[in-house]
Structure formats: C-alpha cells, structure tokens
Amino acid sequence: MPSLETLVPGVHRLELASYTLPPFETSNSFLIEDAGVGVLVDAGFYDASSLNFIKATLESFKVSFLKAVLLTHTHNDHCEGLDLLQSAYPEIALYVHGNEYHQVEHFKCLNILADDRKLMVGNKIIQAIFTPGHSPGHLSYYLPEEGVVLAGDLVAGKGSTWIGKPEGNIKDYLKSIDKLRKLKIKVLAPGHGEAIHNPYNKLNEMRSHRLARLEQVRKALTEKPLSLGQLRQLVYPEVPETLTIMADSSLLALLENLMADFQVMHLGSDEAGPYALHSKTKTN
Ligand SMILES: [Zn+2]
C-alpha cells in the first residue's frame, strides 16, 4: 500500500511500490506544494494505483496545477512512472541533470537542470544541488527555508547506497556527501526508506561506511594479489548469486578509487584482475 508522510508543511513523502534493490521494495517520490501549485521529485513507481495515490494526494492538498517532475537521477526505480504521469498530465515538465539527459530524452517537455539552479513552487524555493557519485548526473533538492534535503540515492534510509561501475564514482560520492554536510539541514530524505532527522550523523555514517569498505579491500590485498571473484568472497560474502554482478561493480568502483590513489594496481588484462597492493604501500 502506498503511504504518505509530511516532512514539513508543503513537503510530503509518498512511498510507492517499485522494482528496486533489496532491502527496499519501494521508492520515495516527494510532493512539494504551495498555493495550489505542486512539483514531484522522482517518479519511481510502476502501477496505476500509485498514480491514483498521487492524484488523491494532490487533491487532498488542493494542488490544482502539477507543473513538473524533478528527477534526482534516471535509474529506473526513480523514473519508471514517468510514462503514466505524462499520460495523466500531458503538460507536465520534466527536469534532469545534463549528464543524464540522454536516458530520458524520449520524454516530452524535457529541461536540463544545472548545479545551484533555483525553482519556485508558489513561494517555496527549491535548489538543485549537483551530487554525483551514485550516478553521473545525480541531483539532490534543497529547500533552504525549510531545511529539507531530498537526497535521492546519495543516502539510504537503512543500510548503504549502491555505488558501482560504470556509473558510480566514489571520489565524486564522498565530495557530494561533503557538499550536503555544509548545508543547514533539519530533515534529510532518502530515495528509499524513511526520512532522517539526525542528518549529519547519517551523512557521516554514509561517508565512514564507504571509507571502511575502501580499507577492507586494501587490507584484503595485504597478503597476496586477488582476483575480483576472490575479493568478492571476502568483501561481500553474504551476497546471493543473483546479485554478484552488483557486488562486482561496486568492488570495481572501490578498486578504481584505490588505483587512482596509487594504493592498488591492476595486474590482469581485464577487470577480473588480479589486483595487488601497490609496492609503495605494501609495508604499511
Ligand atoms: Zn539509483
């Protein structure tokens, strides 16, 4: 069943069934409304009952004009409902970062958003903040007056967010987390799961988790060079067979970062490795 949570007056989280990664089975869309005008952030739903829930929510907040959908990024579990939405609201504008424009270019009324661009909904200001890392054109949406950040997949309501090659980049991700840490935030709302009311703790936690994973990979290579498969068994022993591709792509993102810092080197001829500690760091 879809559900609704009001984060602050005029900003609502709609939890809608989606095809997403475990542990989640829903994605959040957000309605930002003021003075009868509304915008949605993300459209990660697949069925008509979610669309009906959105319509009923608009009615209950007396929103007569739904003017746009702002995308955090273009992964399917954040934009699968765009078709349904544009058939129900043919004039609705769509906003996306330029780095992911091509993923959604078949949609009508498409606009590009850049870092720091501000949009108005009634009297509310929404600021787009470029936060790549999970995907190359990831945007978070900041309401400075309300102290709300809609952070898409930069943070997760529980567990950690997925950062995998080829789209993910850990250096970008850590920079994006730092960018959010500098904002005045009261409520941090992730793309999946419940709103977070201790935003700085959560951001620090997301950051430390990623740094710990980097260290875990580096440590795993102290004894001897390992292939990607061997690393997976050490770093992600709990990952089921069906998700090994995801685990491998996140390992490749971690390895990319360690290689960029000259901590790890690639000995093989393809991504299967093996990988070894860089000679300079071996004695550490
Ligand atoms: Zn995503």
In this predicted structure, what is the pLDDT of residue 280? 60
Q: How far apart are CA 257 and CA 262, in angstroms?
A: 9
- 227-252 pLDDT per residue, tens: 999 999 999 998 888 889 999 999 99
From ligand 1's centre to the CA of 42, what distance in Å? 11
In this predicted structure, what is the pLDDT of residue 152? 97
Q: Is the dihedral of CA 52, 58, 59, 65 positive or negative?
A: negative
From ligand 1's centre to the CA of 199, what distance in Å? 20
Please check the confidence at residue 281 and state whether its pLDDT lies above 70.
no
Please check the confidence at residue 134 and state whether its pLDDT lies above 70.
yes
Please check the confidence at residue 168 and state whether its pLDDT lies above 70.
yes
- 45-86 pLDDT per residue, tens: 999 999 999 999 999 999 999 999 999 999 999 999 999 999
- Residue for token pair 């609705």: 92
Phi, then psi, of 125 in degrees rounded to 5: -105, 130
From ligand 1's centre to the CA of 267, what distance in Å? 31
From ligand 1's centre to the CA of 134, what distance in Å? 7
From ligand 1's centre to the CA of 38, what distance in Å? 24
Please check the confidence at residue 1 and state whether its pLDDT lies above 90.
no
Do residues 16 and 67 make contact, with C-beta atoms less than 8 angstroms apart? Answer: no
- DSSP string for residues in 38-96: EEEE-----SHHHHHHHHHHHHHTT--EEEEEE-S---HHHHTTHHHHHHHSTT-EEEE
In this predicted structure, what is the pLDDT of residue 24? 83
In this predicted structure, what is the pLDDT of residue 284? 47
From ligand 1's centre to the CA of 244, what distance in Å? 17
From ligand 1's centre to the CA of 79, what distance in Å? 10
Q: Spell out the domains of the chain, with CATH numbers in brackets.
A: 3-210 (3.60.15.10), 221-281 (1.10.10.10)
Q: How far apart are CA 202 and CA 194, in angstroms?
A: 12
* Residue 136, number of CB atoms within 10 A of its CB: 17
From ligand 1's centre to the CA of 55, what distance in Å? 25
From ligand 1's centre to the CA of 14, what distance in Å? 17
Q: Please give the average per-residue pLDDT across 132-150, as a whole number.
A: 98
From ligand 1's centre to the CA of 21, what distance in Å? 9
Please check the confidence at residue 186 and state whether its pLDDT lies above 70.
yes
From ligand 1's centre to the CA of 74, what distance in Å? 7
From ligand 1's centre to the CA of 259, what distance in Å? 24
Please check the confidence at residue 172 and state whether its pLDDT lies above 50.
yes
State the pairing for strand pair 93-97/65-70.
Answer: parallel
From ligand 1's centre to the CA of 75, what distance in Å? 5
From ligand 1's centre to the CA of 135, what distance in Å? 7
From ligand 1's centre to the CA of 262, what distance in Å? 29
From ligand 1's centre to the CA of 191, what distance in Å? 8
From ligand 1's centre to the CA of 104, what distance in Å? 14
Query: Does the pTM exceed 0.85?
Result: yes
From ligand 1's centre to the CA of 29, what distance in Å? 13
